[in-house]
Structure 1
Amino acid sequence: MTRPLILGLTGLIGMGKSTVAAMFESAGVPVFDADAVVRSMQGPRGELVGAIEAAFPGSTGPEGVKRDVLGEHVFGDKAALARLEAIVHPAVAARRVEFLIEHGGAPMVVFDIPLLFEKGGVSQVDSVIVVSAPADVQRRRVLARPGMTEDKFAHILSLQTPDADKRAAADHMIPTGVPLAETEAQVRALIERLREDRAQSS
């Protein structure tokens, strides 16, 4: 039995990646949401809470990881961020393997991974989809988030591959600075095209 076609879905903060991921899911394509998996493992009684507390004392409580406190530990500190990633990334990779086993019979699956290019995840997918919107739309969306500041936004962008570079390296681009119906139509058209290509090559 052939394995599913693995699509890597990525995009800068505020580009609408979660919205597009939901569109794939509503079209029947299983989606592995890396951020949701991390939130689960860092939540109450989550499997990573103990290791994170040991590495960053005071960063957890009864409700799991205190995201604001942990953020203060790693914000602007590359060494601290690397320690955190060494805890989180292997656990996420294990969950991803479980997801692939669970959905081994699906024609295609989506790996929703924010830092797909930045962390070398491109080698784990068959095709890369980037979501993109104009910079002014992105900025408006991000700065409307609770607790977001210009400095935080600038720092997050500094850790991410620029949008133009992502689009240039992607196999497919989904625009999200357009009406939702238009974005969804493009998602469904891409799914159909990929299914047809898959059928012809099998």
Structure 2
Amino acid sequence: MKTLALTGSIGMGKSTVAKMFADAGIPVFDADKTVRALQGEGGRLVPEIEHVFPGSTRDGAVDRDALSAMVLGDRDRLARLEALVHPAVHHERTRFILDNGDAAALLFDIPLLFETHGEENFDHVIVVSAPPRMQRERVLSRPGMTVEKFERILERQMPDEQKRERADFVVDTSGPIEETRAQVDRILACLGLAPAQ
């Protein structure tokens, strides 16, 4: 089994690329989606997060905006939150691997892969990238996103150029969707997971 890590900064198109791998039959573990489930209504982390960050939950779920306001820009609080979230995500990832033990490859969508020094745990790293102006336009068009919030998120993320340098493969999402899909197909073929087009 090949283990593939998919990463890239906010707004680069990771979700689109991950879906292309999924459509090709590669099981995908989405770290962000897992965190949302753990913090969503009835999620098992909700009581712990409320205990550590009073006022960060509402109606049985984490209020992401409230929690974000509490931790962004505060390294100590962010570290406390990560100490709750990371072990829970690791548990879910282990369960995903066991559930897909017969797959030829698994793809792990991990936004902060390099920032958490997780790249050593995978056979290949795929970085999704786009020009800064396009990234900014994509992110600022999201509901509830502000320039200040975007800049705080970028502060936590390794610059795109450095991620590209560390990647085994780079998928550039600045062109038409067909071009992005062709890049994914080439990666799959290179890894022996699909026939060359």
TM-score scaled to structure 2, two decimals?
0.96
Show the counterpart of 1:162.
Answer: 159
Aligned counterparts of 2:118 and 2:39: Cα–Cα separation in 1: 22
Q: Quote the offset at 1:154 in angstroms.
A: 1.2
1:82 and 2:79 aligned: yes
The residue aligned with 2:180 is 183
1:135 to 2:132 alignment:
yes
Distance in 1, Cα, partners of 2:42 & 2:27: 26
**Structure 1 residues 106 and 196, CA gap change in structure 2 (3 angstroms):** closer
- The two structures have a TM-score, normalised by structure 1, of 0.93
Unaligned runs of 5+ in 1: 198-202
What are the Cα deviations for residues 60-111 of structure 1, in whole angstroms up to 9, with x where unaligned?
1224101111111102101000000000000000111111111111111100
Query: Which AA in structure 1 matches 2:73?
Result: G
Alignment of 1:103-122 (within 5 A): 103-122=100-119
CA-atom RMSD in angstroms: 1.2
Correspondence for 1:145: 142
| Distance in 1 (alpha carbons) for counterparts of 2:136 and 2:72 | 20
Name the CA distance, whole Å, in 2 between partners of 1:28 and 1:128: 18
Task: Decide whether the 8 Å contact of 2:46 with 2:60 is kept in 1.
Answer: no
Alignment of 1:19-34 (within 5 A): 19-34=16-31
Is 1:126 matched with 2:123?
Answer: yes
How many residues get paired?
A: 194
Corresponding letter in the other structure for 2:41: P
Distance of 2:39 and 2:12 partners within structure 1: 25
Aligned residue among 15, 18, 42 for 2:15: 18
Question: In 2, are the aligned partners of 1:107 and 1:195 still within 8 Å (CA)?
Answer: no
Using the TM superposition, give the Cα deviation of residue 196 of structure 1 relative to its aligned residue in structure 2, in angstroms: 6.0
Structure 1 residue 35 corresponds to structure 2 residue 35: no
Q: Report the counterpart of residue 200 of structure 1 in structure 2.
A: none
**More deviation, 87-96/53-62:** 53-62
Measured after TM superposition, the shift of residue 10 of structure 1 is: 0.2
3-state SS of 2:145 partner: coil
Q: For 1:183-202, what aligned pairs fall within 5 Å after superposition? A: 183-195=180-192
Percentage identity across paired residues of the two chains: 54
- Runs of 5+ consecutive residues of structure 2 not aligned to the other structure: none
